[in-house]
Amino acid sequence: MTASQRRFAFWGLVPILIWVFVFVLFPIFWVILLSLFSYTPIREGGWFLGLGGNNPFVGLGNYVELFTGSTKAARIFRQAIGNTFLFSLLAVPLSVGTALPVAIALESVHERVKSSFRLIYFLPVITGSVAVTIIWQYVYAPNWGLLSQLMKTIGLTPPRSWLSDPTQVYFGIPLAMLAVTIVYVWVTFGYNTLLFIAALQGVPAVFREAARIDGANSWQEFWHIVIPLLRRTILLASVLTVISTLQQFVLFQLLTRGGPAYQTQTILLSVYQNAFVYSENMGMAAAMSIFLFIILFVLTIIQFRLLRTEWEY
C-alpha cells in the first residue's frame, strides 16, 4: 500500500471513527459513569460534566438501592422487572407461534395473490407506532369502542375499561397487560411471518418429498421436517422478538403510561420516567438501563446456545 493509499484510508476512516466515538462509545461510557453517581441535572455539580459536588459519587449505591431500597422509584422498578418479563413471556410465543403457521399458509396460496397477502400481513410493521396506538385506543375505548361494541353484539358484557381498571385480572395477568400484548403481537408478527416465508423458500423440496414418499402426513412433515430445518430462523425470530419486547416503550407509554396501578410499568418506562419526567436521579435511571443491557446480553447468549445447530442444508 502506497503512502497516498494509506492517507486515503486514514482520512476515509476518520469520520466513521468520530461518529462511533461520539454516538456509540461516549454514550456507553457516560451511562456507566452516570450510574455510579447520585446525579440530577437540577443540582449544580462538579467541573467534570456536572459530576461530584452536589451530585456525589455513590459507587454501586444506585444498584443496591434498586434491588434492596424502599424508595418509591426502587419499588416500582422491581415491579417493572416482573412486568417486563411477563410481557416478554406472553408476547414472544404468541408472535413467533402465530407467524409460522401464517407463513406456511401464505406459501400454499396461489402465486397471483401471494404478494397481496404478504403486503396485508406486513402493513402493521411499516405503520408508525403512534398511528397504531391511536387506532387501538379507539378499539379499546370503553363502552363505545370497537371491541366493546363487538362483545355487546354477540351478547357478552365488556369490561368497564380495557386499559385502566386494576381490578380486571385474568389467570393472574392484568387485563391491561393482555391488551398491550395483543397490540404488540398484531404489530410484529408480520415481520416474523416474512422471516419464516424466506426460510421456507430455502428448505430443499427433496426433504419434504422424501417424507411424503415414506408415508408421512402433513403434521408429521411439519413437525419432523419443517421445524428442524427452521431452527435457525426460529432462533433469529425469537431473539429479535425478545429484544423488542424488553425494549418496548411506545405502546406502553401511549396506551397505559405504566398503569393502572403500575401493572404495565416496564423497565424502559422506569428509565424514561426517572431520567426525563421526574428528574429525581438520572444516576439511578442509568443503573436501570445498565441492568436492562445485561438482561438482553444474557438472554441472547442463552437462546443462541439452546437453539443453535451444527449442520447445514
Domain extent listing, the chain: 87-265
- Only one residue has cell 402433513, namely 218
**What is the distance between the terminal CA atoms of the chain, rounded to a whole angstrom?**
40
Residues of the chain with pLDDT > 90, as a percent, come to 33
Q: How far is CA 64 from CA 69, 158, 287, in A?
A: 7, 43, 10
Q: What is the pTM of this model?
A: 0.87
Contact 207, 230 (CB under 8 A): no
Q: What sections of the chain are H helices per DSSP?
A: 3-20, 26-34, 61-68, 72-108, 111-126, 129-139, 146-153, 175-201, 205-213, 218-221, 227-229, 231-246, 250-255, 267-272, 282-307
pLDDT of residue 7: 80
Mean pLDDT of 282-288: 91
Q: Please check the confidence at residue 182 and state whether its pLDDT lies above 80.
A: yes
How far apart are the C-alpha atoms of 101 and 276, rounded to whole Å? Answer: 42
Pick the CATH number of 87-265 from 3.10.180.10, 1.10.10.10, 2.40.170.20, 1.10.3720.10: 1.10.3720.10
Q: Is the pLDDT of residue 308 over 70?
A: no
pLDDT tens-digit readout, 122-141: 888 888 888 888 899 999 99
pLDDT grade for 241, boundaries at 50, 70 and 90: very high
Query: Residues 6 or more apart from 237 whose CB is under 8 A from it?
Result: 95, 96, 99, 192, 195, 196
Neighbours of 188 (CB within 10 A): 25
Helix (H, G, I), strand (E, B) or coil at 223: helix
